[in-house]
Chains A and B, each alone.
Chain A
Amino acid sequence: MSLPQRDDAFLANLGRIYGTYVGGFIAFVAALAILEQMGVPDRIIGYLFVFFTLAVYAGIGIVTRTVQVSEYYVAGRRVPAVYNGMATAADWLSGASFVGMAGTLYALGYDGLAYVIGWTGGYVLVAALVAPYLRKFGAYTVPDFLAARFGGNLARLVGVLVLFACSFTYVVAQIYATGIIASRFLGISFEVAVYVGLAGILLCSMLGGMRAVTWTQVAQYIVLIVAYMLPVAILSAQKFGFPLAQFTYGAVLQEIALLEQDLLARGLATAETLKPHLAPFTSLDPLNFFALIACLMVGTASLPHILMRYFTTLSVRDARRSVGWSLLFILLLYVTAPAYAAFAKLEIYQNVIGAGLEALPQWIYTYGKLGLVDICGAHAASPDAVQSACAAVPGNDGVLRLPDLAIDRDVIVIAMPEIAGLPYVIAGLVAAGGLAASLSTADGLLLAIANAMSHDVYYRMLDTRAPASRRLVMARVLLVGAAVLAAYVASTRPADILSVVAWAFSLAAAGNFPAIVLGIWWKRCTSAGAIAGMIAGFGVTLYYLAMTQYGGMAEWFGVKNISAALFGLPVGFAVTILVSLATPAPSREVQALIDDIRKPSGGPLMRDGPL
């Protein structure tokens, strides 16, 4: 096997490669816009978008494939901070964020901002408490660190279980999202679309592990952020002559407030059915609002697929800086989402609510047919279906009222180009962006699962003398296995997929955070303490989730189960600390290890194993 090449052609030309890529992408969108003007049908445009972007990601995956262990697990530890920031942003911004965030803000108004705060503020914890230290340690996976710090394979096994629980539920949601998008834009059935998405995911991640995933994620970030910002920028430019919707939507918020008063005055809504967009604590009480923020933030700092991205940087310094870049790239999407919600709400309050049932816009039926828009309690598949459903509703006299309309949250972003009457090429672009968001997150999650199985379970626990080639074959086989299983679960359309995503955060937070943070910051933390704390924290969270969701248990203090870690986290910390104090202090070797983890200088402690 060859040594890592210092003059890696791909790494040496990053700026030129991604510059060309951005130029090529703009030219591609422009070409499709021209094709649309020439009368090419929408369906063909959708196909071109989906297949062309998938082919580009797969191409990057093939060009950057690798047979070296350290390239496969941590991209050779030489990803520059800015590019790692972009890759982390793509890893982070899931299909749920891309497709669902604006819709959640549309539905919840101010209260939905708990997600925006929680999903960004967690990076402060990542930078200050966790990432630089794990990078210094030089692990391949999060369980790898737990095993070294907490003396052996029991800690590793618990770490693998936590990783598996939070990553697998999350990846099912991603594949589900790819299925929704692919079925809408390719016109194939959902069950088939799930496997199309799966093929795209495997092409990117199977051949080249972390190295290939890193460079496809950078490409996917560029597509998803352009696709997210462009439609709302066009709307803002049309309305205010200024494309930065993030600044102009203040005026939209004021118009919404006036329209809300107007709807109430015209009897189209009642005080019970209308939640003022700007008013705090209408859907979540302050306890749940702040509990959700806390759980999402701590969950961010505990999710293995995010933490492992910081294993790939050149240095500890770069790991810290890279967190800043990640957050900056993530912020671009999260400051745009509230603008989306505001523009969508304005459009719907102005032109849909109060319209005659025979004069509803066409997009209602497009999405009604998919079961994503309901009017008067029935899918709005056609004008006749709407009118017959509303005729049965008492008090409806042929005009659409606010309580009659139920829009699925996922529609807001996907349908925005149609709602605003933009050309179909913009809708195709949004679909490509949503697909990029889901694929990139699914790649990262599957890699986290497969790496834990091949490195931690197979290599470290079952066969410590397995040669590198067999470990990499094992990693790929397990990756495909996990992906196919996730696709199968997604194709059965498990209920209430979005709550499951929030659960993943709570499970990761309660299971990982106390052990990782105390392991780094408290020398007295012992193996018994950490293992007991992980089991207790994870166990309490899982119990609360399962019992409130399926066991019919009443909520404790009215805390919704999306914030289940509010109980698991303090239990995890308390058990870790108490058991640590009751057991003998860690050995001199472990204390020296902690000293070394804290100091940036001196290179990683775990040398990348023999090739």
Chain B
Amino acid sequence: MTGRANTPGGRDRIWWHRTLRLAAVVLGLWAVFGFAVHGLVVPLNSLVIAGFPLGFYMAAQGSLIAFVVLVFWFSARQDRIDREAGVAEPDPAREERPQ
């Protein structure tokens, strides 16, 4: 931690920076599974697993599963960022009470 991080303004700036970086990573992975993978459908289709050509499988199931994992990972990660910066809400699951 730098000295700046001890002032409330500095801490907020670091927190927002980490939030922005997380959002950028999430959007990057979203673009990969939403678009890039399906651009490669023809080469991927030459690989067939349990009857599914891989390119078809990615569009029918693979990307969808990736999206779900991505959203749950994002919400856990963002929660940790908020918690470390002290801007998270009280969490009833951790027996924290609203002030």
Interface residues of A: mostly helix, strand, loop or mixed?
Answer: helix
Interface string of B6-41 (1 = CB under 8 A from A): 000000000010010001001100100111001101
Q: Identify which of A123, A129, A317, A338 contacts B79 (C-beta below 8 A).
A: A317
Q: Are B34 and A250 in contact (CB under 8 A)?
A: no
Count of A residues near B, CB < 8 Å? 47
Does A323 sit at the interface, judged by CB under 8 A?
yes
Q: Are B68 and A331 in contact (CB under 8 A)?
A: yes
Q: Identify which of B45, B59, B86 contacts A116 (C-beta below 8 A).
A: B59
Q: Which of A435-450 contact B (CB under 8 A)?
A: none
Chain A residues, Cβ within 8 Å of B57: 250
Q: Are A297 and B34 in contact (CB under 8 A)?
A: yes
Complex CA–CA separation, A378 to B51 (angstroms) = 37
Distance in Å from the Cβ of A253 to the closest Cβ of chain B? 5
- A293-B34, A317-B89, A331-B64 known; A110 and B70 CB under 8 Å? no
Q: Identify which of B60, B74, B87 contacts A600 (C-beta below 8 A).
A: B87
- A113-B60, A335-B60 known; A598 and B30 CB under 8 Å? no
Does A149 sit at the interface, judged by CB under 8 A?
no
Chain A residues, Cβ within 8 Å of B38: 117, 289-290, 293
Q: Are B59 and A110 in contact (CB under 8 A)?
A: yes
Q: Are B87 and A599 in contact (CB under 8 A)?
A: yes
Chain A residues, Cβ within 8 Å of B67: 120-121, 123-124, 327, 331
Q: Are A121 and B51 in contact (CB under 8 A)?
A: no
Q: Are B63 and A121 in contact (CB under 8 A)?
A: yes
Complex CA–CA separation, A323 to B50 (angstroms) = 31
- A124-B67, A128-B74, A293-B35 known; A315 and B52 CB under 8 Å? no
Distance in Å from the Cβ of A221 to the closest Cβ of chain B? 16
Q: Are A278 and B53 in contact (CB under 8 A)?
A: yes
Distance in Å from the Cβ of B31 to the closest Cβ of chain A? 10
Chain B residues, Cβ within 8 Å of A335: 60-61, 64
- A293-B35, A600-B89 known; A328 and B68 CB under 8 Å? yes
Q: Are A320 and B34 in contact (CB under 8 A)?
A: no
Does B88 sit at the interface, judged by CB under 8 A?
yes
Complex CA–CA separation, A504 to B71 (angstroms) = 25
Q: Are B35 and A598 in contact (CB under 8 A)?
A: no
Distance in Å from the Cβ of B26 to the closest Cβ of chain A? 5
Q: Are B88 and A327 in contact (CB under 8 A)?
A: no
Q: Are A121 and B33 in contact (CB under 8 A)?
A: yes
Q: Identify which of A116, A249, A290 contacts B64 (C-beta below 8 A).
A: A116
Does B5 sit at the interface, judged by CB under 8 A?
no
Complex CA–CA separation, A253 to B55 (angstroms) = 13
Q: Are A127 and B71 in contact (CB under 8 A)?
A: yes
Q: Are A252 and B51 in contact (CB under 8 A)?
A: yes
Does A316 sit at the interface, judged by CB under 8 A?
yes
Does B47 sit at the interface, judged by CB under 8 A?
no
Does B75 sit at the interface, judged by CB under 8 A?
yes
Q: Which of A110-153 contact B (CB under 8 A)?
A: 110, 113, 116-117, 120-121, 123-125, 127-129, 132
A280, A321, A323: most-surrounded residue (chain B CB, <10 A): A280
Complex CA–CA separation, A132 to B60 (angstroms) = 28
Does A254 sit at the interface, judged by CB under 8 A?
yes
Does A66 sit at the interface, judged by CB under 8 A?
no
Complex CA–CA separation, A132 to B26 (angstroms) = 15
Q: Identify which of B52, B72, B79, B86 contacts A250 (C-beta below 8 A).
A: B52
Does B91 sit at the interface, judged by CB under 8 A?
yes
Distance in Å from the Cβ of A197 to the closest Cβ of chain B? 30
Q: Are B82 and A600 in contact (CB under 8 A)?
A: yes
Q: Are B51 and A251 in contact (CB under 8 A)?
A: yes
Q: Are A247 and B50 in contact (CB under 8 A)?
A: yes
Please, which residue of chain A has its CB at the minimum distance from the CB of B71? A324
Q: Are A600 and B63 in contact (CB under 8 A)?
A: no
6 pairs of A and B residues whose beta carbons are closest in the complex: A250-B51, A320-B75, A113-B59, A250-B52, A324-B71, A324-B72
List 10 additional contacts besides A317-B79, A600-B82; criterion CB under 8 Å: A113-B60, A121-B30, A127-B75, A129-B23, A250-B57, A252-B51, A289-B38, A327-B71, A331-B68, A600-B88
Q: Which residues of B contact A (CB under 8 A)?
A: 16, 19, 23, 26-27, 30, 33-35, 38-39, 41-42, 45, 49-53, 55-57, 59-61, 63-65, 67-68, 70-72, 74-75, 78-79, 82, 86-89, 91-92
A sample of 24 cross-chain residue pairs with beta-carbon separation below 8 angstroms, ordered by A number, consists of A120-B63, A120-B67, A121-B34, A124-B26, A124-B34, A124-B70, A128-B27, A250-B52, A253-B53, A289-B38, A297-B34, A317-B91, A320-B75, A320-B78, A320-B79, A321-B75, A323-B71, A327-B71, A331-B67, A331-B68, A338-B60, A600-B82, A600-B89, A601-B82
